[in-house]
Amino acid sequence: LRACDKCNLPHATRPFLEAGNLQGAMLPRGTAWLDTGTFDSLIDASQFVQTVVHRQGLSIGAPEEVAWRMGFLTDDELRERAEALTKSGYGQYLLGLLDEK
């Protein structure tokens, strides 16, 4: 990390930086980093998530979807979890993933 980046680190990470145990990584293109340290930035992040969900039909933070896409869940396992949640939009979303396949 550059010296000028140190001032942007949260207080809790400073000891790790000073001990040489802090690592960073570049986020891939298309990744959104949402700072929620203030009420205004929390509202901004919420509105961003809402916009993505409504306009693109994507879920953000769907652990079953991630596990399925990474091969940790089979189609049948995803279907089983989705069917348990069919009364919710989330369950319908998960079933839709299988329909798109």
Q: Which among 96, 89, 97 has a CA at the least distance from the CA of 66?
A: 97
**Does residue 44 have a pLDDT over 90?**
yes
DSSP 73: S
14 found inside a domain: no
Query: Which residues touch 48 (CB under 8 Å, ≥6 apart)?
Result: 32, 34
Q: What is the tally of structural domains in the chain? A: 1
Work out the mean pLDDT of the chain and round it to a whole number.
88
67 found inside a domain: yes
Tens digits of residue pLDDT in 3-23: 544 455 577 788 888 899 988
Per-residue pLDDT at 7: 53
**Does residue 32 have a pLDDT over 60?**
yes
**Does residue 50 have a pLDDT over 80?**
yes
76 found inside a domain: yes
52 found inside a domain: yes
**Does residue 65 have a pLDDT over 90?**
yes
91 found inside a domain: yes
In the predicted model, what is the mean pLDDT of residues 73-77?
Answer: 98
7 found inside a domain: no
Per-residue pLDDT at 14: 82
Q: Which among 24, 45, 26 has a CA at the least distance from the CA of 34?
A: 45
46 found inside a domain: yes
Residue 80 three-state SS: helix
Max Cα-Cα span within the chain: 51
18 found inside a domain: no
Please give the residue range of the domain that contains residue 59: 29-100
Query: Which residues touch 68 (CB under 8 Å, ≥6 apart)?
Result: 74, 75, 77, 78, 97
